Chain A
Amino acid sequence: MKKSPTILLGCLSMAGALAAAGCGGVTAASYTPGTAVKVGLICLHDNSSTYDKNFIDSMGAAAKKLGARIAGEPIIKTGVPESYEAYTAAKDLVKQGCNVIFADSFGHEEFMLKAAKEWPSVTFCHATGTKAKIAGVKNYHNAFASIYEGRYLAGYAAGLKLQRMIDAGQIKDSNKRDGNIILGYVGAFPYAEVVSGYTSWYLGVKAVVSNVVMDVTYTSSWYDLNAEKAGASTLINKGAAIISQHADSMGAPGECEEKNVPNVTYNIPTGTECPKTYVAYSKIDWAPYYCAVVNSMFDGKAIEGEVNNNWTGTIGTESVIYDSANAEDKVTLERVKGELIARTRRVFDCANFTVKGQHLTEYKADVDDMGDYKPDTNVIKTEGGITFFDESSLRSAPYFDVRIDGITELNANTNS
Chain B
Amino acid sequence: MKPKSKHRSLNFPFYVTKRLGFSKKKYWAIRAGGILLAFFLAGVVCTILKPGSFGTFFHELFRGCFDFSDISTVIDLLVTFSLLLLIAITLTPAFKMKFWNIGAEGQILVGCLAAAGIARFNPDLPNALVLILALLGAQVASTIWTIIPAIFKALFNTNETLFTLMMNYIATVLSAMMISLWVKNGSMAFGVLSNGIFPSILDNTGTLAVILAIVIFIGMYFYIKMGKHGYEVSIVGESRDTAAYVGINANKVMLRTMAVSGVLFGTIGWLIVCGVNQSFNATIVGGKGFTGVLIAWLGHFEPLEIALFSFLSAVMDQGTRTAASAVNISSTQFSAICTGVFFFVIIACEFFSRYQIKMHHKEKTEVESL
Interface positions of A (Cβ within 8 A of B): 1, 4-5, 7-9, 11-12, 15, 18-19, 21-26, 43, 45-48, 56, 73, 75-79, 81-84, 88-89, 91-92, 95, 106-107, 109-111, 114, 189-194, 220, 366, 371, 373, 401, 413-416
Contacts and interface: CB of A to CB of B under 8 A. Distances in A.
Given A75-B325, A110-B191, A191-B186, A415 B181 contact: yes
Most chain B CB within 10 A, of A23, A92, A114, A189, is at: A92
Contact of B184 (A56, A106, A114, A373): A373
Indicate the member of B75, B181, B279, B333 with the most A CB atoms within 10 Å: B279
A416 B283 contact: no
B186 A192 contact: yes
Contacts of B180: 220, 413-415
A110 B185 contact: no
Nearest to A84: B277
A413 B186 CA distance: 11
B75 A19 contact: yes
B188 A189 contact: yes
Interface string B45-79: 00000000000000000000000111110111010
B71 A56 contact: no
Contacts of A111: 192, 279
A270 B161 CA distance: 43
Given A8-B218, A22-B70, 11 more contacts: A4-B304, A5-B221, A18-B74, A19-B75, A24-B202, A56-B330, A81-B283, A83-B279, A107-B188, A110-B192, A401-B185
Nearest to A40: B325
Contact of A18 (B68, B191, B203): B68
Contacts of B260: none
Given A46-B332, A78-B330, A107 B189 contact: yes
B71 A24 contact: yes
Contacts of B281: 81-83, 107
A107 B187 contact: yes
Contacts of A76: 325, 328, 330
Interface in B180-229: 180-181, 184-192, 202-203, 207, 210, 214, 218, 221-222, 225
B83 to A, nearest CB: 13
Interface in B126-173: none
Q: Identify which of B187, B278, B286 gathers the most chain A CB atoms within 10 Å of its CB.
A: B187
B251 interface: no
A79 B221 contact: no
A194 B330 CA distance: 27
Contacts of B188: 107, 189, 191, 220
A4 B190 CA distance: 42
B307 A11 contact: yes
B117 to A, nearest CB: 16
Contacts of A73: 328
Contacts of B330: 43, 46-47, 56, 76, 78
B192 A114 contact: yes
Contacts of B76: 88
9 contacts: A12-B218, A24-B71, A79-B335, A84-B276, A84-B278, A191-B185, A191-B187, A220-B188, A415-B184
Contacts of B243: none
A199 to B, nearest CB: 14
B322 interface: yes
Contact of B277 (A26, A83, A189): A83
A205 to B, nearest CB: 23
B78 A4 contact: no
Interface in B284-327: 284, 286, 303-304, 307, 322, 325
Contact of A19 (B181, B207, B225, B303): B207
A12 B214 contact: yes
Nearest to B72: A25
B191 A371 contact: yes
A22 B68 contact: yes
Nearest to B188: A189
B279 A22 contact: no
B332 A21 contact: no
A7 B304 contact: yes
B341 interface: no
Nearest to A191: B186
B9 interface: no
A83 B284 contact: yes
B248 interface: no
A23 B69 contact: yes
A106 B187 contact: yes
A84 B80 CA distance: 13
Most A CB within 10 A of own CB, among B76, B189, B281, B322: B189
B176 interface: yes
A21 B68 contact: yes
A81 B325 CA distance: 15
